[in-house]
Structure formats: C-alpha cells, structure tokens
C-alpha cells in the first residue's frame, strides 16, 4: 500500500488521491493541490497521535480497573463516539 498522497491530472483539474485510493479533492492548480496535500498529511498525523493517546488511556484504565478485553472494547467504542460518561 502507498503511504503518500498523489496528484493526478485530468483535463485541467488536479485531483488529490489519498493512500487508500480515495479522491479527497479536485483543484484548478497543482500548487493548490500540493498545499492541500500538506494540510491532509498534518491532519492525518494529528489523528494518528490522538488515536494512540486514546488507546494508551484505555489500556491504562483497563489495568487500573482490572478490566477484561471486552470491557476495554466498550471503553474504546464509547471514546470513538465522543461520548463522555463515567464507567
């Protein structure tokens, strides 16, 4: 699998394709497409960091409360939905 975004030219459009082969934008200039790739890469890095922080927080909570993996999965699913409540 690719790990980078790419720019494809179709007619007068510059199409940005993500590493999963999904089109994420269509632009009128290559410069605009490149700027958006840089933005997408930064957003992806932030998202990955947030994911790792949530995973580590859930693991710490599971250890602290001696939870099994099923309960940990519940914590993760709740966190992914953005729901805050006391467990």
Instruction: Write out pLDDT tens, residues 32-86.
Output: 999 999 999 999 889 889 888 888 887 787 777 776 666 666 666 676 666 444 4
pTM for this prediction: 0.60
pLDDT digits (tens, 9 = 90+) for 7-20: 999 999 999 999 89
pLDDT at residue number 79: 65
- Residue partners of 54: CB distance under 8 A and separation at least 6: 76, 79, 80
Q: How far apart are CA 77 and CA 83, in angstroms?
A: 9
Q: How far apart are CA 18 and CA 44, in angstroms?
A: 11
């Amino acid at each position: 699998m690719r790990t980078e975004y790419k720019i494809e030219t179709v007619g007068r459009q510059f199409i940005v394709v993500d590493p999963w082969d999904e089109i994420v934008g269509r632009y009128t200039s290559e410069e605009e497409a490149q700027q958006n790739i840089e933005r997408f890469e930064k957003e992806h890095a932030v998202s990955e960091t947030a994911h790792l922080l949530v995973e580590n927080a859930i693991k710490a909570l599971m250890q602290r409360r001696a939870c099994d993996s099923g309960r940990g999965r519940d914590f993760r699913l709740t966190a992914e939905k953005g729901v805050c409540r006391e467990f």
